[in-house]
Amino acid sequence: MPVPVPVRAIVAEKVSRVLPGAVATTLVEGVDLAIGGGEFVAITGPSGSGKSSLLYLLGLLDRPTSGRIVLQGQDTAALDRDQAAAFRLARLGFVFQFHFLLPEFTVAENVLIPLRRLGGRTRAEMRERAEGILASLGIAALRHRRPDQLSGGERQRAAIARALANDPPILLADEPTGNLDSRNADLVFAVLARLAREEHRTVVAVTHDLALAARADRRVALMDGRIVEDSGAPSR
C-alpha cells in the first residue's frame, strides 16, 4: 500500500497582489511557495520588499489579485468573507510587532477572547486552556496583570499565548521581535522555534533580523515582491 503524502500546510501558487490606481503598485508578484507541517520559516527582505504583504495574504487578511493560496488542503479562493474569518479563528494564529493586547483586560482575559469567540468549550475548560498555555510560556504568574504591568518580552509572550488559544496548526508572526531588545528577541524567537519543533505547528515569521532568521529551519528572502532566495530543501 502506498504511503500517503502529507498535505502541505501552506501552498501559494503564482500569487500576486497589485494595488490599483493611476499607477498600479505591485506588493507581491508571482510567488510560488510551499511550506510543510511543523516547518519554521523566516521571511526576510528589505523594507518594502513585500514581506508583510505576503504574510497577510497567507493569513487571509488580504486577498491576492491573482494566483491561489491553499491552507491545509483548503483552497481559500472558495471562501467568502465570513468563511475566511471562521477559518482564521479556528486554524490560524497571529502575532504582530505590537502585541495589540486589550489594555483594560488582564493577560488571562486577553487569552480567553479567541476561546470565547470560537466556542465549543465550557467556561472551566476555557480557563484551564488559557492557564495551561500561559504556563507553557513561563508567564502563568502574570495572568492577573494588565498589559501595562508587563515588560515588552512578557507582553509579546502573552500575545503568543492569545494566538495559540484555539490551538491553530499555523502561526503567522509579523516582526514579532521588532520592538524588543536582543535578550527578549532571542527568547521570543526560541518560543516560536519550540512551537514548530515540539508541537509540530507551522510557523512563518517575518523578520528583518538575519541572525534570528538563521535559527529558523528555512529562510525565504523577498525583493520587490518576488522570492529571490529560498534556503530550504523542498518542504516536508
pLDDT digit string, tens, across residues 22-39: 778 899 999 999 999 999
| Residue 3 pLDDT | 40
Tens digit of pLDDT for each residue in 104-157?
Answer: 999 999 999 999 988 888 999 999 999 999 998 888 999 999 999 998 888 888
Kindly state the average pLDDT of the residues 47-65.
93
Dihedral sign for Cα 61, 117, 166, 215, please.
positive
Per the structure block, which three cell numbers stand in for 118? 470560537
Kindly state the average pLDDT of the residues 172-186.
85
| Residue 6 pLDDT | 52
pLDDT tops 50 at residue 14: yes
| CA distance linking residue 42 with residue 212, whole number of Å | 9
| Residue 1 pLDDT | 43
Residue with cell 507582553: 155
Q: Is the pTM of this model over 0.85?
A: yes
Q: Which domains does the chain have, with CATH numbers?
A: 10-230 (3.40.50.300)
Q: What is the DSSP letter of 233?
A: P
Is 172 in a helix, a strand, or coil? strand
**What percent of the chain clears pLDDT 70, i.e. is strictly above it?**
95
Kindly state the average pLDDT of the residues 156-173.
92
Q: What angle do CA 118, 120, 121 make, to 5 degrees?
A: 105
H or E segment to which residue 70 belongs: strand 66-71
Is 196 in a helix, a strand, or coil? helix
pLDDT tops 70 at residue 233: no
pLDDT band (50, 70, 90) for residue 7: low
pLDDT tops 70 at residue 76: yes
Kindly state the average pLDDT of the residues 89-106.
88
Distance of CA 130 to the CA centre of its chain: 19
Beta sheet of 74-75, edge-to-edge order: 25-35, 10-19, 66-71, 74-75
